[in-house]
Amino acid sequence: MNKKQLKFDRVFSYFVLAVGLFIILVPLYLALITAFKPTKDSIANFFSFPKSLYLDNFITVISNSNFFKFFGNSTLILAASLIGILVLVPLTAYVIQKNISSKYYRFFYFAFVAGILVPFQVFMLPVTQQMNKLNLMHQGGLIVLYITFAMTQGIFLYSGYIRTVIPKDLEEAAYMDGCGVIRTYISIIFPMMKPMTGTVIILNSLWIWNDFLLPLLILNKSQSYWTLVLFQYNFKSSYTFDFNLAFAAFVLSIVPIIIVYVFFQKYIIAGLTGGAVKS
């Protein structure tokens, strides 16, 4: 490849990155400045920067709504789902990968992985009907669904990581030292999967915290079940299209997930690339 082609590729790459950055930052900028402006300033100039640090929008959202109740619902669902995912998914992947030579375990592996290829809209209605028959149209039922749907991608990621990164000699040495399968998994295997665990935490946290469709289907029987996303969806009707209050609610809702991302983002690249090359 000549220098001219390399220069063109670099310029094109920077152009694509600039366009992507613009698409991401402009909505974020509008959300932030609108949240920190009174309604009259937004009417005068929607794109202008706030004249002062106006916090009344946030105070109104917190004091005049059940914001903390919905925040608590979202936090409970996220925490319980992540605990279930981190207990079941890596353990299932470890058992499958440990016995992958068996045709039965290979069948289960490919059955789980095949779930990645099926769009949610295909089984959305049957799942909703089944959850209704089982009387699981509440937070507990939603948590069960999140754990179930996380199995497909999680088992695929963990299995690849176990297969290519964790040496089998380490397990054999643990068995020779008297460790059983459970103790080997808890003391050696699971701690070594820390990068992949961080990746799974971030991927599922972003999905569960921001998910709209599943809560809309499962939690629509009572307002007391709402998550923050459903609260935001119904916010405009409660506050007669007050965009300043709505954007303040959006900003408040993204803060927790940003904190989670900051703590675990360093594991994403390590987790996704850890299983790419066999050591």
In a domain, 117, yes or no: yes
The domain tally of the chain equals 1
In a domain, 30, yes or no: no
Q: Are 75 and 260 in contact (CB under 8 A)?
A: no
In a domain, 17, yes or no: no
Q: How far apart are the first and last CA of the chain?
A: 31
Q: What is the pLDDT of residue 139?
A: 93
- What residue numbers bound the domain in which 133 lies? 70-274
Sole residue written with tokens 């069948």: 107
Which are the contacts of 27, defined by CB distance < 8 A and separation ≥ 6? none
Q: What is the pLDDT of residue 272?
A: 52
| Mean pLDDT split into 10-residue runs, the chain, 279 residues | 75 90 88 87 83 85 83 94 95 91 91 87 88 92 95 92 84 80 86 88 91 91 88 66 81 85 69 47
3-state secondary structure of 53: coil
In a domain, 48, yes or no: no
In a domain, 1, yes or no: no
Neighbours of 156 (CB within 10 A): 18
Tokens encoding 169: 């000699």
Residue 227: CATH number of its domain: 1.10.3720.10
Q: Are 146 and 218 in contact (CB under 8 A)?
A: no
